[in-house]
Structure 1
Amino acid sequence: MFNVEITGEFVAFFILAVILIGGVVLMISLEKVVHMVLSMAAVFVGLAGMYVLLEAEFVAFVQVLIYAGAVSVLMIFGIMMTKHGDHQKEPARPAHELLSAIGALCLFGLLFYAIRTTDLSSAGTTAFDPGNDQTMEIGKQLFTSYVIPFELVSILLTVAFIGAIAIAKKEEE
C-alpha cells in the first residue's frame, strides 16, 4: 500500500516527530509551569530540526535563537516575577473530554483525507531555489529594504519587556 524507502531523512523525520508530539503532550499535561516551558522549548528545537530537513537553515537558526532561547527565557522570567497562589484543580468533565477527543479525531481524519487526496506535484514553483542557502539574501533584504521595520520591532519588544517588568514590580509593592 505504502511504498516508503527508509532513509536517514525518513528516520530523522520520525525522531523529530516523536520529540514534537511528546513535547506537546507534556506541555498540555504537566502541572508545573516551569516543566511546561521546558517541554515547549523541546517542541521549538524539534521544529527547528524539521526546518533543517526542509533545507530552511536560516529559519531553523531563528527558531532556535528566538523561540527556544529568547521566548523560553522570557517565559521563565515571567513565571519567576509573578506570584503563584494555590490553585484548585478543576473537576473532571468526562463529557467534555469525550467531545474533545471526538473533535480531535474528526480533525485528524479530515486532514489525513486532504493530504492523501491532494496532488502535490502540480504545486507552483517557488521564488527561490531550495538547494541554495538563502541566508545572505535574507540578511541583505533585512538590513537594506526592511531596516526601519526591523528597528521598530526591536524598540517595541524592548518597551514591552520594560513595561512587563514595571507591572510586575508594581504588583510586588
Structure 2
Amino acid sequence: MLANIAAFLSNGENIAFFIFALMAIGGAIFMISFNKVVHMVVALALTFISLAGLYVILNAEFVAFVQVLIYAGAISILMIFGIMMTKHQGEEEEPKRPVYNTLLFIGALALFGILFYAIQNVTLPGGEFKAAEDNTLEIGKLLFQRHVIPFELMSVLLTVAFIGAIVVAKREED
C-alpha cells in the first residue's frame, strides 16, 4: 500500500493534484467552520481558486479561467458587497462541544480510511482519452451552435435578476 503512495507521489502532476485537493477540502472545511462571514468568503475563494488549479491539471484551461473569473472573483466580491450592505447584530458564541467535535473527527477519519481503501483496491478499465486540441474552440462551437438558446435565456435571466436586485436595493434605500 505504501508503494502505491510512493509511486503516486513520484510524479509532479500528482503532487500538484494532492496540494490543490487539500487546499479545496481545507477551504471548504474552513468555510463551514468559521464564525465571521468575511472569513467564510475568503475560505470559499480559496476553495474556488484551488478548484481552478485542479482544472488546469485536467487540461481544462478555459474552465479554470472561468472558475477564477466568475467564482473566485465575481461571486466572492458579490458576497462581500452583500455583507457590507446588510446590518448584522452581535451574535452569541456557540458553546464548545468537545464530544461532538471528537465524534466528528473520528467520523471524518473513518470516511477518509474507507475511501482510501476503496481507491487503493479498485481496478479501472484502461482506455485512451482523446482530448480536443483546442478546448476553448470546442466549447465555443458547442455553446454558440448547439446550445445557443439556453445561453441566451441565461443571459436574459441574469439581466432580469440584476435589474430586480437594483429595484430591491432602491426600495430599501427609500
Could you tell me which residue of structure 1 aligns to residue 110 of structure 2?
A: 106
The RMSD of aligned alpha carbons is 2.5
What is the alpha-carbon distance in structure 1 between the residues aligned to residue 157 and residue 173 of structure 2?
24
Superposed, 1:53-68 pairs within 5 Å as 53-68=57-72
* Aligned partner letter, 2:96: A
Paired residue total: 170
Given the superposition, is the C-alpha separation of residues 78 and 110 from structure 1 closer, same or farther in structure 2, using an over 3 Å criterion?
same
What is the alpha-carbon distance in structure 2 between the residues aligned to residue 32 and residue 56 of structure 1?
33
Could you tell me which residue of structure 2 aligns to residue 162 of structure 1?
A: 163
What is the alpha-carbon distance in structure 2 between the residues aligned to residue 111 and residue 169 of structure 1?
50
What is the alpha-carbon distance in structure 1 between the residues aligned to residue 102 and residue 169 of structure 2?
39
Could you tell me which residue of structure 1 aligns to residue 152 of structure 2?
A: 151
**Are 2:10 and 1:6 equivalent residues in the alignment?**
yes
What is the alpha-carbon distance in structure 1 between the residues aligned to residue 44 and residue 53 of structure 2?
14
Q: Cα distance, 1:16 vs. partner?
A: 2.3
Q: Is the 8 A contact 2:132 2:138 kept in 1?
A: no
* Aligned partner letter, 1:43: T
Unaligned runs of 5+ in 1: none
Q: Cα distance, 1:87 vs. partner?
A: 1.0
Deviations 1:74-111 (A, max 9, x none): 21122122221111122223333233223322322222
Given the superposition, is the C-alpha separation of residues 118 and 155 from structure 1 closer, same or farther in structure 2, using an over 3 Å criterion?
same
Question: Which one is further off, 108-117 or 135-144?
Answer: 108-117
Q: Is the 8 A contact 1:55 1:131 kept in 2?
A: no
Deviations 1:26-53 (A, max 9, x none): 3233332122212211211111111111
TM-score relative to the length of structure 1:
0.81
* Aligned partner letter, 2:17: F
Unaligned runs of 5+ in 2: none
Q: Is the 8 A contact 1:52 1:60 kept in 2?
A: yes
Given the superposition, is the C-alpha separation of residues 146 and 133 from structure 1 closer, same or farther in structure 2, using an over 3 Å criterion?
same
What is the alpha-carbon distance in structure 2 between the residues aligned to residue 125 and residue 169 of structure 1?
56
What is the alpha-carbon distance in structure 1 between the residues aligned to residue 105 and residue 15 of structure 2?
29
Could you tell me which residue of structure 1 aligns to residue 134 of structure 2?
A: 133
List structure 1 runs of 4+ shifted beyond 6 angstroms. none
Percentage identity across paired residues of the two chains: 60
TM-score relative to the length of structure 2:
0.81
